[in-house]
């Protein structure tokens, strides 16, 4: 475990330099994700798949030229390899996870004040469409490591007001419930865990890594327990 933490810390330092290579690929709009993030999510969510540039272009929504530039950089950084012509496979998941964590910027949260019990909140969340838990709540549901009373939820763009009303009322101050507006890409690989909607393990891992505090420690535990990160 100590060796793994040391490895990740070393990668974090190195990726501060490497991640600068991807600045060109970032969209200037805060409401849109870069091609790098969308491609990273696809590669990690379907980590055993052999991809073509055309498939990644269609799935990410970015041009074939943009996808090609990102893949060339990832190949240069020994994150992906080409077993055959025009086919790419992920060979270093932990490296891509750290690179993505360096670039990830969580959406500005919408804080929700609520007097509802956890049982009530769980029921509402389990019955609501267009949302998925992440960060500490998502990790807690998956492996019951580091108990939390907070709820961090991605909410499909356009659904924020309806979800906020269902859970409580908006607040200008930090609360135990945080809504994170997001587009459909964030929900790729989401699943039901204990009847609750939760983002994919790679998405949960990256969100924790860029949260700060105990986030990276919880991320590592999640990565190991899920098999995403190999010791």
Cα(222)–Cα(211) distance, integer angstroms: 14
For residues 87 and 124, membership in a common domain is answered with no
For residues 63 and 168, membership in a common domain is answered with no
pLDDT for residue 6: 62
Q: How many domains does the chain have?
A: 2
Cα(14)–Cα(217) distance, integer angstroms: 19
Least confident of 97-111, 116-130, 187-201: 97-111
pLDDT for residue 28: 42
The domain of 162 spans 110-226
DSSP-assigned beta bridge partners for residue 131: 155
**Whole-number percent of the chain with pLDDT over 90:** 72
Residue 125 has pLDDT above 90, yes or no: yes
Q: What residue has token string 């804080």?
A: 111
Tell whether 99 is covered by a domain: yes
CATH number where 15 lies: 1.10.10.10
Structure tokens at 124: 């509402």
Least confident of 19-23, 90-94, 120-124, 161-165: 19-23
Confidence tier at 3 by pLDDT (50, 70, 90): low
Tell whether 145 is covered by a domain: yes
Tell whether 154 is covered by a domain: yes
For residues 151 and 201, membership in a common domain is answered with yes
Tell whether 61 is covered by a domain: yes
Over range 52-60, report the average pLDDT.
94
For residues 68 and 130, membership in a common domain is answered with no
Q: pTM for the full model?
A: 0.86
Residue 205 · residue 104 · CB < 8 Å: no
**Any idea of the CA torsion for 184, 210, 140, 111, to the nearest 10 degrees?**
-70
Q: How many CB atoms lie within 10 A of CB 57?
A: 18
Tell whether 132 is covered by a domain: yes
For residues 139 and 181, membership in a common domain is answered with yes
The model's pLDDT over 63-95, given as tens digits with 9 standing for 90+, comes to 999 999 999 999 998 899 998 888 999 998 988
C-alpha radius of gyration, the chain, whole number: 18
For residues 173 and 137, membership in a common domain is answered with yes
Confidence tier at 228 by pLDDT (50, 70, 90): confident
Tell whether 172 is covered by a domain: yes
Confidence tier at 219 by pLDDT (50, 70, 90): very high
For residues 47 and 82, membership in a common domain is answered with yes
For residues 53 and 116, membership in a common domain is answered with no
pLDDT for residue 109: 97
Q: Tell me which DSSP letter residue 77 carries.
A: T
Tell whether 231 is covered by a domain: no
Residue 29 has pLDDT above 60, yes or no: no
For residues 75 and 124, membership in a common domain is answered with no
**Whole-number percent of the chain with pLDDT over 70:** 86
Which of 87, 103, 119 corresponds to the end of one domain?
103
Tell whether 160 is covered by a domain: yes
For residues 156 and 95, membership in a common domain is answered with no
Confidence tier at 27 by pLDDT (50, 70, 90): very low
Cα(191)–Cα(182) distance, integer angstroms: 17
Which of 103, 118, 143 corresponds to the end of one domain?
103
Please return the burial class of 172, using the count of CB atoms within 10 Å of its CB with bins 0-12, 13-18 and 19+: exposed
3-class DSSP assignment, residue 90? strand
Beta strands 196-198 and 169-171 are unpaired
Which of 53, 86, 103 corresponds to the end of one domain?
103
3-class DSSP assignment, residue 28? coil
For residues 121 and 214, membership in a common domain is answered with yes
The model's pLDDT over 13-22, given as tens digits with 9 standing for 90+, comes to 544 444 444 4
Cα(188)–Cα(174) distance, integer angstroms: 27
- Rounded to the nearest integer, the mean pLDDT of the chain is 87
Q: How many CB atoms lie within 10 A of CB 74?
A: 25
For residues 115 and 99, membership in a common domain is answered with no
Spell out the residues 6+ positions from residue 72 whose beta carbon is closer than 8 angstroms to its own.
none
């Amino acid at each position: 475990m100590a060796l793994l933490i040391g490895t990740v810390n070393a990668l974090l330092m190195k990726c501060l330099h490497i991640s600068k290579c991807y600045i060109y690929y970032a969209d200037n709009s805060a409401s849109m994700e870069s091609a790098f993030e969308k491609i990273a999510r696809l590669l990690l969510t379907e980590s055993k798949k052999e991809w073509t540039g055309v498939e990644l272009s269609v799935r990410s929504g970015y041009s074939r030229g943009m996808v090609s530039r990102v893949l060339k950089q990832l190949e240069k950084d020994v994150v992906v390899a080409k077993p055959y012509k025009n086919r790419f496979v992920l060979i270093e998941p932990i490296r891509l996870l750290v690179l993505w964590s360096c670039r990830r910027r969580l959406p500005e949260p919408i804080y929700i004040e609520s007097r509802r019990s956890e049982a009530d909140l769980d029921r509402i969340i389990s019955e609501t469409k267009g949302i998925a838990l992440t960060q500490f709540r998502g990790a807690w549901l998956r492996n019951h490591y580091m108990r939390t009373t907070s709820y961090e939820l991605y909410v499909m763009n356009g659904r924020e007001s309806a979800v906020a009303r269902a859970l409580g009322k908006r607040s200008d101050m930090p609360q135990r419930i945080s809504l994170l507006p997001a587009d459909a890409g964030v929900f790729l690989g989401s699943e039901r865990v204990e009847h609750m909607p939760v983002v994919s393990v790679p998405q949960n891992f990256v969100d924790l890594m860029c949260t700060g505090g105990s986030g990276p420690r919880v991320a590592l535990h999640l990565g190991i327990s899920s098999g995403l990160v190999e010791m």
